[in-house]
Amino acid sequence: MKLSEIASIIGAEFQGKDIEITGMNTLKDAKADEISFVSNAKYVKDIKDTNAAAVLVSQNAATEVPSGCLALMCENPYWSVAILSKYFAPAIEDDSLSAPKIGNNSKISPKAEIANGAVIGENCTILAHVYVGANAVIGDNSVLYPSVTVYRDCKIGNDCMIHANSVIGSDGFGFATNNLGEHKKIYQNGNVVIEDDVEIGSNTSIDRAVFGSTLIKKGTRIDNLVQIGHNCEIGEYSVMVSQSGLAGSTVLGRNVVMGGQAASAGHLNIAPFSTFAARSGITRSIKEPGKTYAGFPLMDHRTWLKLQAKLAKLLK
């Protein structure tokens, strides 16, 4: 899409070189043929380092856009992102793609559906009512139990096991809201990448990224009924117990353990080897590795135990 077309769609003034835009991305990752945006004041400082061809910005931030990058001024940049995201969303299925490729010795149930462009590795087992979307990739020796859904463009590594009814790559919970309180969907145009030797329990949902990838690193163990939001990153050999959840863009270091019903707010960074007892509520980043936490508000586990003991004495 031409830059002039983009400006017309969102009602922004256009002056400058009219080039072809191939996609949308973050300020950090945008290439010279992509468009980016700033909707939060704390990211204004990052505009100067972007390689994007153009940036959607409010009038106040327009002066921060570097030379060679076009500022498209919008009253509500996030709303404009939502409008444009639909134009760059890929087709759900694509009949023009080649037939799916199935590796040697893989067993595919006749009741499973493999979309065009998908690739299934060797020695895989794909059971009834599994759906593998366009351009999705399943590595060698992996097992998908009944009714697993893998949305388009998602990648699953070798030696993985995904149990019944889990969903890989559904849309993250993303929308913009205008001054009237109306909501507009932000199309989630990234994917999910699951590395080798990952096991995922039943009825778990892992949301695809808005841009880039939601990443589950090797050796991770995820229980039943777990929710992982868009653009999260789960470190190697981490463990997430049933009903735990992560809001979007949270990053776990390696060997993090989250007990049952533990949950985090979004955009947090969790140090490696952190452990969270059941029902922990994580609202801040954890910088010191190797500690155990509990409760809400979150506190050191030993402190939480002492507090529970004192409360029990008060009730006697």
Mean pLDDT score of the chain? 95
Whole-prediction pTM: 0.93
| 41 pLDDT higher than 80 | no
Residue 117 has a pLDDT of 97
Per annotation, catalytic residue among 129, 163, 230, 301: 230
Mean pLDDT over 182-189 rounds to: 96
According to the 3-state scheme, what is the secondary structure of the chain? CEHHHHHHHHCCCCCCCCCECCEECCCCCCCCCEEEECCCHHHHHHHHHCCCCEEEECHHHHHHCCCCCEEEECCCHHHHHHHHHCCCCCCCCCCCCCCCEECCCCEECCCCEECCCCEECCCCEECCCCEECCCCEECCCCEECCCCEECCCCEECCCCEECCCCEEEECCCCEEECCCCCEEECCCCCEEEECCCCEECCCCEEECCCCCEEEECCCCEECCCCEECCCCEECCCCEECCCCEECCCCEECCCCEECCCCEECCCCEECCCCEECCCCEECCCECCCCCEEECCCCEEHHHHHHHHHHHHHHCC
Average pLDDT of the segment spanning 12-39: 90
Q: Which domains does the chain show, CATH number per domain?
A: 3-85 (3.40.1390.10), 101-303 (2.160.10.10)
Query: Which pLDDT tens digit goes with each residue over 157-168?
Result: 999 999 999 999
- 202-248 pLDDT, tens digit each: 999 999 999 999 999 999 999 999 999 999 999 999 999 999 999 99
* pLDDT for res 14: 84
Is 230 an active-site residue? yes
